[in-house]
Amino acid sequence: MTIDGLSVSKVLRPESVEELTEALSAETGAIVPLGSGTQTYFGNPLRRADCAADLTRLSRITEYNPADLTVHVQAGVKLGQLEHALLENNQFLPMDPWNGPMATIGGITAADAQGPLRATGTIRDWIIGMKVVHAGGQVSRTGGRVVKNVTGYDLARLYTGSLGTLAIIVEISLKLRAKFPKTATAVARLDGIGEAGMLIASIRKSALQPISLEWVGNPNEVWVRFGEHPKAVEWQLKNLPPADWTISEAEEEAAAWEKLRERYAALGPVLVRVIGLPGTIHEIIEEYRPTAWMAHAANGIVLMTVPGIGVIQRIRSRYRAVIEKAPVEVRREVSTFGLTDTEYELMSKMKQTFDPEGRLNPGRHVDGERN
Amino acid sequence: MKKEFIALLREILGAPAVTDDETELLVYECDALTLFKNKPDVVVFPQTAEQVARIVRLANEYAVPFVPRGAGTGLSGGAVAMEGGIVIELQRMNRILSIDPDNRIAVVQPGVVNLHISQAAAPYGLYYAPDPSSQMACTIGGNVAENAGGPHCLKYGMTTNHILAIEAVTAAGQIVRLGNPAGELVGMDLVGTIVGSEGTFVIVTEITLRLLPKPRAVKTLLAAFHSIEECSQSVSDVIAAGIVPSALEFVDAKTIEAVEASVYKAGYPMDAAAALLIEVDGFHEGLEETSTAIVEICRRNRSYDVRVAKDDDERARLWMGRKGAFGAMGRISPDMIVMDAVIPRTRLPEVLTEIARLSERYNLPVANVFHAGDGNIHPLILFDSRYQDQVDRIFGMSEEIMKLCVGVGGSLSGEHGIGYEKKDFMDLVFNESDLEVMMRVKRVFNPNGLLNPSKVFPSRRGCTEVGRQTTTSTAEIGKRVDEVLRGAAH
């Protein structure tokens, strides 16, 4: 296997946390934690890879308490596997990351993988506890097993999004939600950015509360999804601002979002996540005129293709921008996160304290930001 | 404390913003947890982040501990200067700097009272969701430090789910900005790591937070039960029906007794063993049906009286009873301590039965208020602090309650924080390795430990100490309280 052009010669496939800690204590050199590998392209370029720790065999759902709305999983459990297990109690983890049901919970957490479902937050809003393995094999836990807990520091927040560069996530406890009683999606195609922008603005000012609000281009489309009591869904559909809406429900709806996922996957080769505000995405799209984009309109985030490095620098003079996807050559020239000096300093100290020898995914996170 | 140090503080802030007057210092010797007291040497009242930074730098220079404080409503001793030093009172930083209704964001100073945020956002049809029961007094800075909750966090999340970005003064006295107004995680979630760090990482001086649109419709119900089991089963059935209430609060008979005897009198059913205050909100459409479904669930579980509030006034009265419950205890007891443990919600009946047994054994009455939706239990232990033997018994009883909650899969604190109060019980839930990692993270932010010392971590623990804490810690606490009550502070 290769990641960022580096070939990984040795792959550990532990079947238990104990196996992993033993292996780590024995290994020297750089370790690359791995889930399903759906996002190995994300991050600053990997500098060194002596050994990969494939966690997909840590795939047990160790405990599920429907009455408590909690589930405890090993990091290698796939999202689709989890969804299936929760179905019979009509519960779910409100995540629909673009990288799909094959992504592992550990991977989704380490990469802070996201999708168009944003009204229920992101993965960090659903994690209630974690167990991690440190570079030398030490094991530690944070949080707990209950949905509400302020006991000790919330280190799960630190590990989330850190790309396995602080510690390797091996177990995650999550809180769950009842499935939306009903969902429905309305899609409208618009002639131009101006029209689409105005439609989005009027939806945002209205009483509608979409669970997803996506502005996609080109061609310009507005996707609105509702998830609520059936009567409330019906009411919201009826009260959409006027446009040529196509409404879909059930299987048709699921198929439509699947198509959108495919469109996301085709975005590239350089895809940037621009962080603005709901009120500024229109001007972001106007200003940079990307050839293709997907915006989480209620959150102020625009995922857009850019032709090259120069545009990224330009964007970063005005907005935070994370490189969502890019060939390693590009990522060698531009930092993935665009950290401020404060962030760089603090995060470097964090990295230093957790992984002083720089063994975990070296170069992929803060330690690759300033080269 | 050196006189020259206090003089320097006066130079930085001006004399009206510094006090070392013995009487005035008494106000700051404890927070809402009155069992643990220690007077600071000086209290300062900064008005800007720059002033806070200068205070912190001076404190570092003289190696003086410093403790940030909001309104002092905390229930775990988090704002008490247990090692003396400076209390940095942030209540004068109480401006709402901006409200952006289009993007649903507010930027506020830490001393702003929680409820004032919602009041300021109200004209825009927006509000700030986390609603701790002390929201009429507590400050948002304190909320951020503790990751405060409240009854509506069941549906809307805790403080940490609403904080987008912060400005803070580091423990070394640098002013930093973290996060972004979209609340998007970039690299590492340092803001999320800081929320709930109980004032031991940084001193927050500005907060960018998320506002939500006010629900278009709300229905509030009160259901009375003759048995706790039936009440608890109703909660389980509501969850199983896929309903997501915005609040689900349990009060027991003793709580009802206190509330109905107080100014918070809400018309709670006096003969109930337990009552449930349930709220659902959202669109009008479908809300009636959801509310009816809840009524049916309660009736099916033999609730003998289910009421749906007819109007906003009745709603407000029902809530006043719940939110005033802690204060109402003053009607039936001179003192009380508020415990704050979490358990899996399904274990409530057995936990309450055991608490009742402990209450008998320790001969201390207990009232129970419970965030039934998320398992956060508040046993209120009633006592009279004039009797030393009662004070002594509290520590034994509260330790047993904590062990009970941890034993059924719960944890030490749902929303009040560890602070000073529960620090010696941290190893009921975390082992040496867990605590060592947390200590490491703390040292990144607060390397010399001058910021809010003696909080969160067990007392006699260095970073290399091994071994489990024994129950002598309770006696240790009792001894310390003894010393303090006998005036060791002087």
Chain A residues within an 8 Å CB radius of B146: 150
Instruction: Please tell me the distance in Å from A294's CA to the nearest CA on chain B.
Output: 16
The answer to whether the beta carbons of residues B178 and B208 sit under 8 Å apart is: no
Report the C-alpha gap between A112 and B285 in whole angstroms.
35
**What residues 295-354 of chain B have any CB closer than 8 A to a CB of chain A?**
342-346
Q: Is B7 helix (H, G, I), strand (E, B) or coil?
A: helix
Of A134, A155, A273, which has the smallest distance from its Cβ to B438's Cβ? Answer: A155
> pLDDT band at residue B460, thresholds of 50, 70 and 90?
low
Beta-carbon count within 10 A of A205 CB: 11
Give the type of residue at A219: P
Could A142 and B438 be called an inter-chain contact, meaning their C-beta atoms sit closer than 8 Å?
A: yes
> pLDDT band at residue B471, thresholds of 50, 70 and 90?
very low
Report the C-alpha gap between B369 and A2 in whole angstroms.
56
Chain B residues within an 8 Å CB radius of A276: 182
Identify which of B50, B83, B77 has the alpha carbon closest to the alpha carbon of residue B64: B83
Chain B residues within an 8 Å CB radius of A369: 187
Return the residue in A148, A303, A365 with the most chain B beta carbons within 10 A, the one to mutate for interface testing.
Answer: A148
Could B415 and A70 be called an inter-chain contact, meaning their C-beta atoms sit closer than 8 Å?
A: no
**What residues 269-288 of chain A have any CB closer than 8 A to a CB of chain B?**
273, 275-279
Instruction: Report residue B436 as tokens.
Output: 């060592």
pLDDT single digits (tens) A183-234:
999 999 999 999 999 999 999 999 999 999 999 998 999 999 999 999 999 9
Chain A residues within an 8 Å CB radius of B429: 144, 151-152
The answer to whether the beta carbons of residues A335 and A368 sit under 8 Å apart is: yes
Enumerate residues 6+ apart whose C-beta is below 8 A from B123.
none
Instruction: Report residue A21 as tokens.
Output: 């800690």
Residue B486 has pLDDT above 60, yes or no: no
B238 touches chain A (CB under 8 A): no
Degrees (nearest 5) of the Cα angle A98, A126, B413? Answer: 165
Of A65, A139, A152, which has the smallest distance from its Cβ to B426's Cβ? Answer: A152
Q: What is the pLDDT of residue B465?
A: 33
Of B192, B438, B443, which has the smallest distance from its Cβ to A157's Cβ? Answer: B192
pLDDT single digits (tens) B173-221:
999 999 999 999 999 999 999 999 999 999 999 999 999 999 999 999 9
Mean pLDDT of B263-272: 89
Could A151 and B415 be called an inter-chain contact, meaning their C-beta atoms sit closer than 8 Å?
A: no
Average pLDDT, chain A: 96
Instruction: Please tell me the distance in Å from B236's CA to the nearest CA on chain A.
Output: 6
Report the C-alpha gap between A42 and A368 in whole angstroms.
12
Q: What is the pLDDT of residue B373?
A: 87
Chain A residues within an 8 Å CB radius of B283: 209, 228-229, 231-232, 235-236
Could A337 and B436 be called an inter-chain contact, meaning their C-beta atoms sit closer than 8 Å?
A: no
By CA distance, what is A153's nearest residue in B?
A: B197
Residue B485 has pLDDT above 80, yes or no: no
A114 touches chain B (CB under 8 A): no
Could A145 and B374 be called an inter-chain contact, meaning their C-beta atoms sit closer than 8 Å?
A: no
Collect the ranges in chain A with pLDDT lower than 70: none
Q: Is B408 helix (H, G, I), strand (E, B) or coil?
A: coil
Instruction: Report residue B316 as tokens.
Output: 């407000």
Chain-centre distance of CA B304, in angstroms?
A: 33
Q: What is the pLDDT of residue B489?
A: 38
* CA dist list (Å): A310 to A270, A329, A334, B258: 12, 14, 10, 68
B112 touches chain A (CB under 8 A): no
Could A152 and B444 be called an inter-chain contact, meaning their C-beta atoms sit closer than 8 Å?
A: no
Q: Would the CA dihedral through B438, B440, B444, B450 be positive or negative?
A: positive
Mean pLDDT of B274-294: 96
Of A144, A155, A350, which has the smallest distance from its Cβ to B429's Cβ? Answer: A144
**What residues 356-375 of chain B have any CB closer than 8 A to a CB of chain A?**
371, 374-375
Size of interface A-B (CB pairs under 8 A): 239
**What residues 186-205 of chain B have any CB closer than 8 A to a CB of chain A?**
186-190, 192-193, 195-197
Q: What is the pLDDT of residue B6?
A: 96
B248 touches chain A (CB under 8 A): no
Q: Would the CA dihedral through B243, B244, B246, B251 be positive or negative?
A: positive
Beta strands in B91-201 (DSSP E): 96-100, 105-108, 126-127, 163-170, 175-179
Asked whether the ipTM of the predicted complex exceeds the cut of 0.95, the reply is: yes
A68 touches chain B (CB under 8 A): yes
Chain A residues within an 8 Å CB radius of B430: 141, 151-152
| Parallel/antiparallel/unpaired status of strands B163-170 and B86-89 | unpaired
DSSP B189-234: -HHHHHTTSTTSSEEEEEEEEE-EEPPSEEEEEEEEES-HHHHHHH
Report the C-alpha gap between A10 and A31 in whole angstroms.
10
Beta-carbon count within 10 A of A100 CB: 18
Report the C-alpha gap between B150 and B156 in whole angstroms.
10
Residue B259 has pLDDT above 80, yes or no: yes
Mean pLDDT of B222-237: 94
**What residues 117-156 of chain A have any CB closer than 8 A to a CB of chain B?**
121-122, 124-125, 134, 138-142, 144-155
Burial readout B49-71 (b: 16 or more C-beta within 10 A, e: otherwise): bebbbbbbebbbeeebbbbbbbb
Residue B468 has pLDDT above 50, yes or no: no
A343 touches chain B (CB under 8 A): yes
Instruction: Report residue A85 as tokens.
Output: 């297990």
Q: What is the pLDDT of residue B320?
A: 86
Mean pLDDT of B310-316: 92
DSSP state of A46: P
Report the C-alpha gap between A113 and A108 in whole angstroms.
5
Instruction: Report residue A346 as tokens.
Output: 């603090």
Q: Is A226 helix (H, G, I), strand (E, B) or coil?
A: strand
Of B188, B415, B426, which has the smallest distance from its Cβ to A162's Cβ? Answer: B188
Chain A residues within an 8 Å CB radius of B100: 277, 279
Could B196 and A160 be called an inter-chain contact, meaning their C-beta atoms sit closer than 8 Å?
A: no
A177 touches chain B (CB under 8 A): yes
Could B444 and A142 be called an inter-chain contact, meaning their C-beta atoms sit closer than 8 Å?
A: no
Q: What is the pLDDT of residue B4?
A: 93
Q: What is the pLDDT of residue A220?
A: 96
Degrees (nearest 5) of the Cα angle A252, A217, A269? Answer: 105
B142 touches chain A (CB under 8 A): no
Q: Is A59 helix (H, G, I), strand (E, B) or coil?
A: coil
Residue B67 has pLDDT above 70, yes or no: yes
Of A160, A232, A276, which has the smallest distance from its Cβ to B189's Cβ? Answer: A160
The answer to whether the beta carbons of residues A92 and A102 sit under 8 Å apart is: no
Beta strands in chain A (DSSP E): 2-3, 6-7, 10-12, 31-34, 51-54, 61-65, 70-74, 91-92, 127-133, 139-143, 168-175, 177-178, 182-189, 212-217, 221-228, 245-248, 271-275, 293-296, 301-305, 320-325
Residue B318 has pLDDT above 70, yes or no: yes
Instruction: Please tell me the distance in Å from B21's CA to the nearest CA on chain A.
Output: 35
By CA distance, what is B436's nearest residue in A?
A: A140
Report the C-alpha gap between B68 and B204 in whole angstroms.
9
Residue B347 has pLDDT above 50, yes or no: yes
Q: In percent, how much of chain B has pLDDT > 90?
A: 82
Q: What is the pLDDT of residue A200?
A: 98
Q: How buried is B168 (Cβ within 10 angstroms: 0-12 exposed, 13-18 middle, 19+ buried)?
A: buried
Residue B340 has pLDDT above 60, yes or no: yes
pLDDT single digits (tens) B73-110:
999 999 999 999 999 999 999 999 999 999 999 999 99
Mean pLDDT of B349-359: 94
Residue B410 has pLDDT above 90, yes or no: yes
> pLDDT band at residue B461, thresholds of 50, 70 and 90?
low
